[in-house]
Amino acid sequence: MFIGIIGTPCSGKHTVAGWLVKEHNFKALSLCESKHDDFHPLIFTSAENLLLYVTENWDDNFVTCDIDSEEILASYRRRPFFLLIAVDGPVMLRYERYRNRKCKLEKPLQSLEQFIESNDYSVFQYSSKSPSHSPSLSSSLYNMTSTSDLTIVNTFHELSCFYSHLAALEITNNERLRPMWDSYFMYMADLAAKRSNCMKRRVGCILVRNHRVVATGYNGTPIGLKNCNEGGCPKCNLGSNCGDKSDSCLCLHAEENALLEAGRARVGEESILYCNT
């Protein structure tokens, strides 16, 4: 497993990476010298070299916090062993962490306003100093965060509480990379539900036999009729409650549609129907 961690300033990215190194024997990888005391990553000259190293050592687990562009993220994303984690937290709490860290290093401190300004720049590529500059969201943290596999919200003051939270998340569970069969078919049922046209309910289902999809279904009016959400079912279109004059509803359930599509012969024995409601 190769975990990439992105996040807002002082949200706890390196804390998560350090925890993975300590608790799960991950190896830290970096594209620059680390500023973090207890972090001793292997340094690489480019993202390609880093990815090559991870690929060659596929039996090991790695973590990096150095993903500062969408290009690098896209190159990592192509690999099935890659997982993206985004970390965030309340801005005032992050500023408090920043002050505590900087005080130890005796560096000049940013004011809260400056901290928020640099935070906005990293998240939105926006600066109030040059508001006319059109933000390039394609390289912003906001854009990359929206594609993360897991978001961790760090509202913890105590490190031990944050570690307990990380343990409870089961970050290294392999199902995060490759879903088991049941999760896989439930994702498909959720996708089928998006095709639902019934105004009353959005439901999808997948009929499966021996891990093979036999048929899919979603609720809505029968084939050949106008879709429910386009005026095809008088009952649904009037917003009547379930149970009132149910014989006047033309819509079919997702399960009915999947079974009709499969037909008796193809349903067979030991089939499983995955339905998302």
Binding site for Zn ion (CB under 5 A): 198, 228, 233, 235-236, 249, 251
- DSSP codes joined into one string, 68-90: -SHHHHHHHHTSTTEEEEEEE--
On whether the CB atoms of residues 124 and 142 are closer than 8 A, the answer is yes
In the bound complex, what is the minimum distance in angstroms from residue 95's beta carbon to Zn ion?
51
CA distance 6 to 59: 24
Whole-number Cα distances in Å, 199 to 219, 233, 235, 257: 9, 9, 10, 16
What is the total residue count of the chain? Answer: 277
Compare residues 23 and 230 and give the one whose CB is closer to Zn ion. 230
Q: Which of 70, 255, 256, 261 is catalytic?
A: 255
In the bound complex, what is the minimum distance in angstroms from residue 236's beta carbon to Zn ion?
3
Compare residues 90 and 231 and give the one whose CB is closer to Zn ion. 231
CB atoms within 10 A of CB 59: 5
Angle at the Cα of 179 from the Cα atoms of 12 and 174, rounded to 5 degrees: 50
Compare residues 151 and 246 and give the one whose CB is closer to Zn ion. 246
CA distance 144 to 189: 27
Compare residues 27 and 235 and give the one whose CB is closer to Zn ion. 235
In the bound complex, what is the minimum distance in angstroms from residue 235's beta carbon to Zn ion?
4
The reply to whether 270 belongs to the active site is no
In the bound complex, what is the minimum distance in angstroms from residue 204's beta carbon to Zn ion?
14
In the bound complex, what is the minimum distance in angstroms from residue 237's beta carbon to Zn ion?
8
Instruction: Give the three-class secondary structure for 44.
Output: coil
φ, ψ of residue 62 to 5 degrees: the values are -135, 155
Compare residues 89 and 232 and give the one whose CB is closer to Zn ion. 232
- Cα–Cα nearest to 62, from 13, 26, 19, 30: 26
Give the residue numbers annotated as catalytic, written as ranges: 255
